[in-house]
Structure 1
């Protein structure tokens, strides 16, 4: 199944895709959020579909919001692809590099992303994102992670590199600007995704392919990341984990220009869908 939220910002309607057909979830839940996921939301939706109790709806041409509403936190993993570490002349980390993004950076997959005032180095990062479905704390092993994952989605971990590296302190100030985490279009359940270590990730800027990566090149796989984070923080339903980006960012050793107003970024993974967001000015 693929969960999605459709409609104007702040008034999205929950829906689910089963095959090529969208079904209204308004009778099942007010929204796709942590409370829905914690209350067997995925399982209840499957039961309703199997019983033929959901009404088909048309979604073509409607705005798609982020697939999970109001995440409690957005946790991110840095330098988690060997080729990305190499392009930034950074050693492959011995343990996951962890940082946070403000939860209100999350916007819809096709919403306008705002370049901060004074920014000179706004960058893009296509990433596989994990959405937590059950509370995870002190998991015994990575093998336990699967039972705590509601599904997967796409993220663009937009970053202002000067704020991240040249303004002192932690990375968060370059990661938490408004609109800096377009998410979606879908929350895809694990049964449809299959192996999260076997996903292609691509990103284009104005039609030019910049990132052409694969999750097989991750240093720490998605299940390892969930297990690892659970040793340091409680992961709750609706939390989002960005798992890192492959090579090809503007900050790397490839002379790609940073983003400016009017640029359009497209990201895609065949089993997760596609985003297309334009960049505006804050």
Structure 2
């Protein structure tokens, strides 16, 4: 479920049929009806195994159908009862953003913007169109983590990002969408990704899904292999001190790309 500039929520039809995660078997499936499901998966699973999957898949589809209404209820309750620890974080300030990030964005807004020129300002993984640069300053990350921990300690209901993560926060429910995430997407990320991903609609991104997930020894340890239902994904590491946390991309899963990277992570889905 993505959120646009008007405050409305959008769900692609494929959200209710594709990329359905079955936690017990650590696998993703697609589902429209039992007949098509059986035809698609009978060659790679046993018949009795498929029968066991049906109830779990249907339960997940039903859960997704109720997400929008349940999220609106939680957001309304949070807005009435939650007192932010750092209220200044809820309105984007340019001081929140790193100098390297601002330099890259300003270059993309200039008349001489080009992909070759932009790549001089970024770290990149050859041939994979994966790029890295600091987005936020350390003080913002510190305060933001404190805000999230403050919210976690409250008794308010919390919507989790997905069925693969048990610990995390949907940022729109906490009130970050209108004045933080949306201007970040429109004013800063859109110019950047319009140069990096012009063939993926980088210049006209109109919605997003923003959430935080958390990993630790006593919580979630990892995230199963998956793909994002988005044109562009931005991952921001907010973590404190930690070790491990390797991040892998698609067919490069056997190659460690980013070491000591993920702990508490800030994910933007566009």
What is the TM-score normalised by the length of structure 2? Answer: 0.24
Higher helix share: 2
Q: Which has the larger radius of gyration?
A: 2
Structure with higher RCO (Cα < 8 A, 6+ apart): 1
